[in-house]
Amino acid sequence: MKKALILIFVVFSSSFYFSNIHLSFNETPLQEVLQKLEEVSGSIILTKANISEKITKEINTLDLESALDIVLHSTDYEYKKVGHNLYLVGDFDLIIQGSVQNATEIDFKILEITKISNILKLLNQRVRRVPNSNSIILFGKDELSFEILNLFNFLEDNAGENKEITYSSSHKISKNVYDYLLGLEKNQKSSPIENQDAIGFLESNFSLLTDLEKVEFYESFDVNETGVNFKDNINNYYLVEKDREYIVLVTSTFNLENLTVEEKTNIFSQLKTSFGVSYQFDSNEIMSSISWQFNKSYFDISFDFNNNFKFGYKTALKDRVRIGAVLKNEEDQINISFLLDDYEDFNNFGLYGILQINSQIENLRSILVDLNQLTYDLVAAKTYTFGDKQTIELSLYPGIGLSISKKDQANIYFNFGVQYAFPFQKSAILLSYLYHQYSHTINLSIEF
């Protein structure tokens, strides 16, 4: 028994005295714990900003990584080794994990996102690219996410135009990261980062070292034949210290003319076609329809096999504004409607404003167009997505409208629409219901 006790004592003593790291902490701030580990290990431990945790631990181990495992256990933080005797500690991907329920997929038709890869790297905490596509996932529904959404909407709306814009974003860093970068720069004051080792280290670990705080952009000027090469967009980094806050400011200037999707050799790959059938309850009318969407233009033809038809055309202008016209023939009367609508995207929903002017030609031989009605509809749009492998979408469209006609006084009415979209191989099946101006319509269509 005595020999066993002696053996246990020897083993315990050996682990104590031959340990490289032996420290004890009681309600000690995590930043101080990491600084102490730096001192005893001879390594560099960088942290993200706002590390806040108190540690009560007994550390008795041979190496720094085991000590970090002990210290960070049961906290929100983890460590990553990024170089020889160089470690990072932070809450990596915590923002993404907390925002996964508020994710929005954005598909670009004009903007080629691979051409702004330098910007996507800066937004990695909030933006992920969808593999093998020209789409991104934007995480979050806060003010910062709204700033990012505005940036991408602007790029999509203006890609291909001869404009130069300047992008800037501010990223919070800790004091020890700030000091480390200054050390690589061999400079003791705030400055642009010019040392290639400092730039390489920052770019390789950007999302791990920084916390995105603000995104801005502005149009500089129209670019003519200046001879400046905008093909390669380069990020410029600046270290800023103000009131004990430490920031990496990033700027980049690029020409929107070079950011469009490359032209496809097969123009039919840009064409979307839809076939559908609708039933209107009030008039007991069944209409078949076929529509095409090509780039920014939309065509629609509907008919009921009884000499009644409707032809519609819409095209997109700048800043998500569309104009169009609808020609409808019913019982030897031709109705013409002129449309103007715009769309605004808010944090949690979209908002459509639709102005429509209705005219009438009394018979086919008449060239006199009679303006008889004006309507304006304000419609909110909210889409919910379900499923993992196959994304099912449920969209709701509540709204209110105002109608002014020659025969009647101004009339206020309520609208409501709902659409269920189910993906099927490379196409989509859509089932919708619309209540508009006291008329009920259901529609079933397939889009491919």
Walk me through the domains of the chain, giving residue ranges and CATH numbers. 2-92 (3.55.50.30), 103-258 (no CATH), 267-447 (2.40.160.40)
* Average pLDDT estimate for 213-222: 81
Determine if the pTM surpasses 0.95: no
d(CA 372, CA 406): 6
**Other Cβ atoms within 10 Å of 407 Cβ, number:** 6
d(CA 124, CA 119): 9
User: In this predicted model, what pLDDT tens digit does every residue of 152-185 receive, in sequence order?
Assistant: 999 999 998 888 889 999 999 999 999 999 888 8
User: In this predicted model, what pLDDT tens digit does every residue of 259-296 receive, in sequence order?
Assistant: 887 654 444 445 788 999 988 888 788 889 999 887 77
- The structure tokens listed for 37 are 């580990």
Q: What is 325-360 written as a DSSP string?
A: EEEEEETTEEEEEEEEEEEEE-SS-EEEEEEEEEEE
Q: Cα–Cα distances in Å, from 58 out to 26, 28, 88, 383, 422?
A: 9, 12, 22, 52, 56
Which pLDDT score is estimated for 369?
A: 58
Q: For residues 171 and 144, is the Cβ–Cβ distance under 8 A?
A: no
- Can you give 29-81 as a three-state secondary structure string? EHHHHHHHHHHHHCCEEEECCCCCCEEEEEEEECCHHHHHHHHHCCCCCEEEE
Cα-flanking dihedrals φ and ψ of residue 214, to 5°? -155, 145
Buried b vs exposed e over 224-256: b needs ≥16 C-beta within 10 Å? eeeeeebeebebebebeeeeeebbbbbbbebbb
Q: 186 or 230: which carries more pLDDT confidence?
A: 186
Pairing of strands 163-173, 245-255: antiparallel
128 Cβ contact partners less than 8 Å away, ≥ 6 residues apart:
96, 136, 137, 139
Q: For residues 333 and 368, is the Cβ–Cβ distance under 8 A?
A: no
d(CA 43, CA 403): 73
AA letter at 315: T
Q: Where do the DSSP E strands lie in 141-235? A: 163-173, 211-222
d(CA 255, CA 227): 12
d(CA 304, CA 313): 19
Q: 146: pLDDT confidence band, cut at 50, 70 and 90? A: very high
- The structure tokens listed for 319 are 């800043």
Cα-flanking dihedrals φ and ψ of residue 76, to 5°? -85, 5
- The structure tokens listed for 416 are 């409501």
Mean pLDDT score of the chain: 81
User: In this predicted model, what pLDDT tens digit does every residue of 14-36 receive, in sequence order?
Assistant: 444 434 788 889 999 998 999 99
* Average pLDDT estimate for 68-72: 91
d(CA 119, CA 312): 39
* Average pLDDT estimate for 379-391: 75
User: In this predicted model, what pLDDT tens digit does every residue of 330-384 receive, in sequence order?
Assistant: 766 788 888 888 888 776 778 889 999 888 776 555 545 567 788 999 999 888 8
d(CA 16, CA 11): 9
**Other Cβ atoms within 10 Å of 26 Cβ, number:** 9
* Average pLDDT estimate for 134-149: 89
104: exposed, middle or buried (Cβ count in 10 Å: 0-12, 13-18, 19+): middle
Which pLDDT score is estimated for 367?
A: 46
Pairing of strands 285-294, 411-424: unpaired
Q: Any idea which of 182-186, 230-234, 401-405, 406-410 has the lowest mean pLDDT?
A: 230-234
d(CA 184, CA 44): 13
Q: Which of 319, 333, 284, 278 is nearest to 301 (CA)?
A: 278
Q: What angle is formed at CA 223 by the lines to CA 193 and CA 232, rounded to 5 degrees? A: 40
- The structure tokens listed for 12 are 């315990």
Packing angle of the helix pair 64-72, 30-41 (nearest 10 deg)? 170
Q: Cα–Cα distances in Å, from 321 out to 146, 238, 257, 295, 357?
A: 20, 38, 21, 14, 16
Residue that the structure tokens 């602007």 belong to = 154
